[in-house]
Structure 1
Amino acid sequence: MTSSTPIVSKAIVTGHTRGLGAALSETLLARGFVVLGVSRTRHTSLAARFPDAVEEAEVDLADTENIEAWLGTGALQRFLRGADRVLLVNNAGTAEPIGPLDAPHAREVGRSVVLNVAAPLMLSCAFAEASKDASDRRIVHVSSGAARNAYAGWSIYCATKAALDHHARAVALGNERALRIATIAPGVVDTDMQAALRETDQAAFPSRDKFVELQRSGQLASPQQVAEKFADYLLSSKFGDAPTVDLRDLPS
């Protein structure tokens, strides 16, 4: 590749239709990336605004058979073909179920673990295999402060996010060629997830008032603000130096 050859940059973003996923997709598009959004639904307005730079795949990321079927189509390989710089942003996730250990049904727990853990790990393996020709490969799992601090009533979410942190630590030890990986905890972001926490019965989630106060006192960052700082770090030369990062600890 000569200096006059443009760098082809592509990113896969899961859960790209709303919240931080939508903001990250817009931010990467504005920075010259072609984006493949993977979610249960499509983001029609995003595709309309960037018709030549957005591809979408409707995949239920809480269903391993659905994930396997999509990966089996070769869509991931086709999307990444010819790219020099490639990203996988494992953003899709759920805070449910919330409540004491004996409250959630097994099915709810299973879908949460698949969406929050199995899907990112399955996609990471497939991405690593499909992107071997790229000179710059990066995987980021969207983590949470809940991965590093336990909350009563939130055991499933805390455990699944902690699993992503440890996955990044282990993969980083392998020194994969041209592959960088890390988790980024974005801090408290004004998303549907935050709204759902504020509406949860305090008996099921004793920390509810903390999240109510964050919203009341204006301490929630907008998805757009967070996405810009998130992308700055993800695309920087420092990404991957540490396997787990809290966005709030980075200099502005």
Structure 2
Amino acid sequence: MKIFFITGTSRGIGEALAEQLMTEEHHLFCLSRTENEQLIERAIHSKTSMTYYPFDLNQLLQIEPMFTALFSMIPQDIEITGFYLINNAGMLAPVAPIELNSAQSMIENVSINLLAPMIMTANFLKHTKEYEGDKRIMNISSGSARYLLPSQSCYSTSKAGVDSFSKSVSLEQLNQPYPAKVVSVYPGMIDTGMQAEIRATSKADFPYVDQFIQMAEEGKLQTPEYTAAKLIELLFSEDFGSSVVVENM
């Protein structure tokens, strides 16, 4: 059985990832602030083993005990063929010139986008250190880490941090007896709540808002389902980890 830990499964890419990974050969640990009741129902109908764990990733100091709890739920009598962590949860706000952003909004952005994936990764690796099989970590980054726009300084900086963090951890794993593979991936522009959020931003706060509205109106955004399928294809690919930052799936 393959074991998956997926954050941000209440909607968007995370929900689509969980749904497409549903099979009797997988156990899914789904994490989001609120339970996704529809996802739980789909797991029951597909006979997928799923543990839905409501958790607010802003509670950084609780991630370590959470992982201890999650690993204690894994049955001891099953054969595990792989452990997979998908750090998908993210937030765009605040979208505004930096001097207009509150300290609290900046702290929440970096906590969700960067610090939580760092702590999740640390605990995932700690609990699987002695496991000899397949171990993979996929961090959902963004093209905003490289291609910068005004009013997205917090989001771009935190995603650039995810890329650097992934590279560093990948280097560390080279020296481990049972290394994990790590990838930070740019999923593209997707029709999710995050895109709706940026389209609702005022032009005064985000000068490029009209271009984002136009892309949506012209149907140039990917669906969460299409994006999830491409991410899963990457996750299971033979060359996963050969390039730590994947800009084009």
1:16, 1:38 within 8 Å by CA — same for their partners in 2? yes
Of 110, 116, 121, the residue aligned with 1:119 is 116
Aligned partners of 1:22, 1:43: CA distance in 2, in Å? 8
Moved more, 44-53 or 149-158: 44-53
Q: Which residue in 1 is equivalent to 2:3?
A: 10
Q: Could you tell me how far 1:30 is from its partner in structure 2?
A: 4.3
**Runs of 5+ consecutive residues of structure 2 not aligned to the other structure:** none
Determine the C-alpha separation between the residues in 1 that align with 2:194 and 2:132.
34
Tell me, yes or no, if the aligned pair for 1:168 and 1:243 is still in contact at 8 Å.
yes
Aligned residue in 2 for 1:53 = 49
Percent identity between the two aligned chains? 30
What do residues 175-205 of structure 1 show as CA deviations (whole Å, max 9, x unaligned)? 1423100111100011000011111011111
Match of 1:29 among 22, 32, 37: 22
Q: Tell me, in whole angstroms, the C-alpha distance in 2 between the residues paired with 1:24 and 1:105.
A: 33
Report the CA distance between 1:236 and its aligned residue: 0.7
Q: Name whichever of 188-197 and 166-175 sits farther off.
A: 166-175
Aligned match of 1:5:
none
Pick one of 51, 59, 65 that aligns with 1:63. 59
Q: Please tell me whether the aligned partners of residues 33 and 53 of structure 1 are also in contact (alpha carbons under 8 angstroms).
A: yes
The runs of 5 or more residues in structure 1 that have no matched partner are: 1-7
Mapped pair 1:93 → 2:90 = yes
Among 50, 71, 74, the residue aligned to 1:76: 71
RMSD of aligned C-alpha atoms?
1.7
The answer for the alignment partner of 1:4 in structure 2 is none
The number of aligned residues is 240
- Name which of structure 1's ranges 128-137 and 78-87 shifts more when overlaid on structure 2: 78-87
In structure 2, how many angstroms separate the alpha carbons of the residues matched to 1:45 and 1:196? 23
The aligned amino acid for 1:59 is F
Post-superposition shift, 1:78? 3.5
- Asked whether the 8 Å contact 2:19–2:42 carries over to 1, the reply is no
Corresponding residue of 2:221: 220
Q: Displacement, 1:134? A: 4.6
Q: Which residue of 1 aligns with 2:140?
A: 142
Q: What CA deviation, in whole Å up to 9, does each residue of 1:23-62 have, x standing for no partner?
A: 0111111484211001111111111221341111111101
Residue among 21, 33, 36 paired with 1:40: 33
Note closer, same or farther for the CA distance 1:141–1:80 as it changes in structure 2 (3 Å cut): farther
Separation of aligned partners in 1, 2:73 and 2:242: 30
Q: TM-score, normalised by structure 2?
A: 0.91
Contact map agreement 1:141 1:182 (CA 8 A) in 2: yes
* Greater Cα offset, 17-26 or 49-58: 49-58
**Corresponding residue SS for 2:21:** helix
Matched-pair contact (CA < 8 Å) for 1:144–1:161 = yes
In structure 1, how many angstroms separate the alpha carbons of the residues matched to 2:128 and 2:184?
Answer: 19
Q: Where does residue 156 of structure 1 map in the other structure?
A: 154
